[in-house]
Amino acid sequence: MAKKLVIKVTAGADAPERCSQAFTVAAVAVASGIEVSLWLTGESSWFALPGRAAEFELPHAAPLPDLLESILAAGSVTLCTQCAARRGITQKDTVEGVRIAGAQVFVSEIMSDNVQALVY
């Protein structure tokens, strides 16, 4: 079994089911004791901002703010550098605990031993 799970979520409100699946899998993995690194890219980048997860709605899905909170509490959340720049998001704008990093850090994470990477 992988010791770490790296999840890249590329979807936001534009593809709510895919977005919710990524956050749900990350939160379940964290609750199961697996080390989790969640990457926010593309339209999911907006969830790095305070209050934006609360605007997300999907029937029969766990509330996104709760999922994000649990991931931040026991895992890591990273906002893609280029995605942040394209949206005018800076580190001071983000939810506490979210870091901004780029492709080099992502590649380093997924190429480590005992890592499973998923992209949604």
pLDDT of residue 2: 63
Residue 14 in this model has a pLDDT that exceeds 90: yes
DSSP letters spanning 28-79: HHHHTT-EEEEEE-GGGGGGGSTTTGGG---TTS--HHHHHHHHHHHSEEEE
pTM, rounded to two decimals: 0.95
Q: For a pLDDT cut of 90, what percent of the chain falls above it?
A: 98
CATH of the domain at 48: 3.40.1260.10
pLDDT of residue 99: 98
pLDDT of residue 102: 97
Please tell me the total count of domains within the chain: 1
Mean pLDDT (the chain, rounded): 97
pLDDT single digits (tens) 18-74 = 999 999 999 999 999 999 999 999 999 999 999 999 999 999 999 999 999 999 999
Q: Which domain holds residue 42?
A: 4-119
Sign, CA torsion 120/8/78/81? negative
Q: Given pLDDT bands bounded at 50, 70 and 90, which one contains residue 1?
A: low
